[in-house]
């Protein structure tokens, strides 16, 4: 059966908006929190519930589609991206923010087909920001077209910078070394606590670049499309094409800025998804 992207988009968008109500209703309520890989890698009942809602609804509608979900993978399901239509889901990106009641929390959903992103949606319900993109049709915030800043000067760039959800010694060493290198060279740094939102903010032109080691495919699958449809670039942190399963990315408002940042970065290579 041919993939009808209009049907896919029209089905998932209201489902994401409805799921966002759970985040908005619960962010300042008591939560049940479990530790996953480390004391700073957390999951709540809301992460699990939203992922169940999204996958079960999508599976009923599109029984031949495949799925990659953060919590399903954490529970032992194989993380595999093939040419088949695949929904890639992070039900609560910024779980640490959610646990603490910090409002920068989003749902990130992408549809990939033939190993190419076709639909990308990042919804931050507490702050009311809905980022959407479809391949070849541009990127939008709350229905209005958005564009990356096109900044090329590192000294004028506002950078998103995260420490990540692992305390792995080599990872932390690279993060700290890069902070020491980059902070004196950029206009400023911001930490949102959400990889997907960092990417969306670069697409919006609110920041000019961000990078991270140790993320997963569900953190960047939607953001990659939104950034590129806004005119930005997504590359490997060492330069060259990004591998969505490599757990590494660098996005920027321009190729020149991405090149400058990649030349400065101390590299770290996590285990692949």
CATH number, domain of 113, equals 3.30.540.10
> Would 271 be classed as within a structural domain?
no
219-252 pLDDT, tens digit per residue, is 999 999 999 999 999 999 999 999 999 999 999 9
CATH number, domain of 189, equals 3.40.190.80
Confidence of residue 161 (pLDDT cuts 50, 70, 90): very high
- C-alpha 249/C-alpha 211 separation (Å) is 6
Asked if residue 125 and residue 86 are part of one domain, the reply reads yes
Asked if residue 206 and residue 140 are part of one domain, the reply reads no
Boundary of a domain, candidates 146, 181, 209: 146
Asked if residue 89 and residue 115 are part of one domain, the reply reads yes
The DSSP secondary structure of 14-38, one letter per residue, reads HHHHHHHHHHHHHTTS---EEE-SS
Asked if residue 184 and residue 140 are part of one domain, the reply reads no
Asked if residue 183 and residue 141 are part of one domain, the reply reads no
Asked if 109 and 12 touch (Cβ cutoff 8 Å), the reply is yes
Write b or e for each residue in 127-165: b if 16 or more Cβ atoms lie within 10 A of its Cβ, otherwise e.
eebbbbbbbeeebbbeeeebebbebbebeebbbbbbbbb
Which one has a higher pLDDT value, 172 or 40?
172
Asked if 266 and 175 touch (Cβ cutoff 8 Å), the reply is no
What is the residue-averaged pLDDT of the chain? 96
Residue 135: is its pLDDT beyond 80? Answer: yes
Burial zone of 174 (CB within 10 Å; 0-12 exposed, 13-18 middle, 19+ buried):
buried
Asked if residue 163 and residue 118 are part of one domain, the reply reads no
Identify the CA nearest to 261 among candidates 239, 243, 232, 241.
Answer: 239
- Angle CA 183–212–219, to nearest 5: 140
Asked if residue 64 and residue 189 are part of one domain, the reply reads no
* Average pLDDT score over residue span 124-141: 98
* Percent of the chain surpassing pLDDT 70: 100
Boundary of a domain, candidates 146, 167, 197: 146
Q: What is the dihedral of CA 109, 115, 117, 123, to 10 degrees?
A: 10
Asked if residue 174 and residue 129 are part of one domain, the reply reads no
Chain CA centroid to CA 80, Å: 17
Task: Pick the range with the lowest mean pLDDT from 19-28, 65-74, 205-214, 260-269.
Answer: 65-74
Confidence of residue 1 (pLDDT cuts 50, 70, 90): low
Sheet containing 209-213, strands listed edge to edge, beginning at the edge strand earlier in sequence: 188-190, 158-160, 209-213, 248-252, 233-235
- C-alpha 29/C-alpha 171 separation (Å) is 33
pLDDT score recorded for residue 143: 98
Count of CA atoms in the C-beta half-sphere (13 A) of 241 = 3
167-198 pLDDT, tens digit per residue, is 889 999 999 999 999 999 999 999 999 999 99
> Would 116 be classed as within a structural domain?
yes
User: Helix, strand, or coil here: 249?
Assistant: strand
Boundary of a domain, candidates 146, 174, 191: 146
Asked if residue 89 and residue 72 are part of one domain, the reply reads yes
Asked if residue 91 and residue 24 are part of one domain, the reply reads yes
* Average pLDDT score over residue span 115-139: 98
> Would 273 be classed as within a structural domain?
no
Residue 217: is its pLDDT beyond 80? Answer: yes
Asked if residue 66 and residue 32 are part of one domain, the reply reads yes
Write out the residue range of the structural domain in which residue 240 sits.
154-264
pLDDT score recorded for residue 40: 76
> Would 207 be classed as within a structural domain?
yes
- C-alpha 171/C-alpha 77 separation (Å) is 25
> Would 269 be classed as within a structural domain?
no
User: Helix, strand, or coil here: 222?
Assistant: helix
How many domains does the chain divide into?
2
Asked if residue 126 and residue 19 are part of one domain, the reply reads yes
DSSP conformation class of 41: -
């Amino acid at each position: 059966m041919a993939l009808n992207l209009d049907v896919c988009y029209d089905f998932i968008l209201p489902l994401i908006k409805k799921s966002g109500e759970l985040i908005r209703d619960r962010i300042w309520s008591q939560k049940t929190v479990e530790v996953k890989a480390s004391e700073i890698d957390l999951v709540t009942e809301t992460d699990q519930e939203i992922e169940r809602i999204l996958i079960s609804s999508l599976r009923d509608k599109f029984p031949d589609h495949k799925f990659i979900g953060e919590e399903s993978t954490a529970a032992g399901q194989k993380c595999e991206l093939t040419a088949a239509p695949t929904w890639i889901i992070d039900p609560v990106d910024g779980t640490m923010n959610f646990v603490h009641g910090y409002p920068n929390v989003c749902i990130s959903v992408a549809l990939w087909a033939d190993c190419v992103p076709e639909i990308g949606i990042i919804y931050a319900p507490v702050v009311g920001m809905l980022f959407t993109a479809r391949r070849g049709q541009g990127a939008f915030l709350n229905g209005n077209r958005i564009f990356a800043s096109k900044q090329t000067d590192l000294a004028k760039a506002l950078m998103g910078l995260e420490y990540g959800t692992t305390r792995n010694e080599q990872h932390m060493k690279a993060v700290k070394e890069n902070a020491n290198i980059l902070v004196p060279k950029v206009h400023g740094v911001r930490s949102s606590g959400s990889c997907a939102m960092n990417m969306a903010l670069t697409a919006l032109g609110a920041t000019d670049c961000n990078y991270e080691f140790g993320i997963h495919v569900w953190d960047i699958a939607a953001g990659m499309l939104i950034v590129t449809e806004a005119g930005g670039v997504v590359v490997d942190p060492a330069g060259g094409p990004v591998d969505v399963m490599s757990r590494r990315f660098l996005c920027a408002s321009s190729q020149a800025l991405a090149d400058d940042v990649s030349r400065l970065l101390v590299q770290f290579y996590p285990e692949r998804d």
